[in-house]
Amino acid sequence: MTQQVTKGIRISVETHFEGMFYKNLKMHYAFGYQITIENQSNDSVQLQSRYWEIKDALNDTETVSGEGVIGKKPILKPGESHRYQSGCLLTGPFGAMSGHYNMINFSNSREFKVNIPSFKLSATYALN
């Protein structure tokens, strides 16, 4: 598990390899990840949007951004957490992801960024 705390918001990431398949005559590697967003601050916050950089083994980088996470913009009171699962496809057995969430603090109406720690994606068979 990878974890990082930014401005009282703890991000924890767990990953797993889901398998390989051909798409458009090219091999793809599927990875899943589970993210827990925990509000350890004294203020209520809301996740507004996300930004990802996804790198594969050949250092090709794809960026993904959008509103919320899996169609939701969770509001977290102090001590609450939100967990979700998602995934990505790579063209190689190794890669990494990193990024940030844009959030708003309801106490002062200020927007702030919460870093998502860089985490590795590895096909289990390729680890030896």
Residues in the chain: 128
Angle at 75 between CA 71 and CA 5, to 5 degrees: 100
For all residues of the chain together, what is the average pLDDT? Answer: 94
The better pLDDT of the pair 89, 125 is held by 89
Residue 126: the pLDDT is 60
Q: What Å distances lie between residue 22 and 40, 61, 90, 103, CA to CA?
A: 42, 20, 11, 37
> Which CATH architecture best describes the domain 2-118?
Sandwich (2.60)
pLDDT digits (tens, 9 = 90+) for 14-62: 999 999 999 888 889 999 999 999 999 999 999 999 999 999 987 789 9
Mean pLDDT of 88-98: 93
Please tell me whether the overall predicted TM-score, pTM, comes out greater than 0.75 for this model. yes
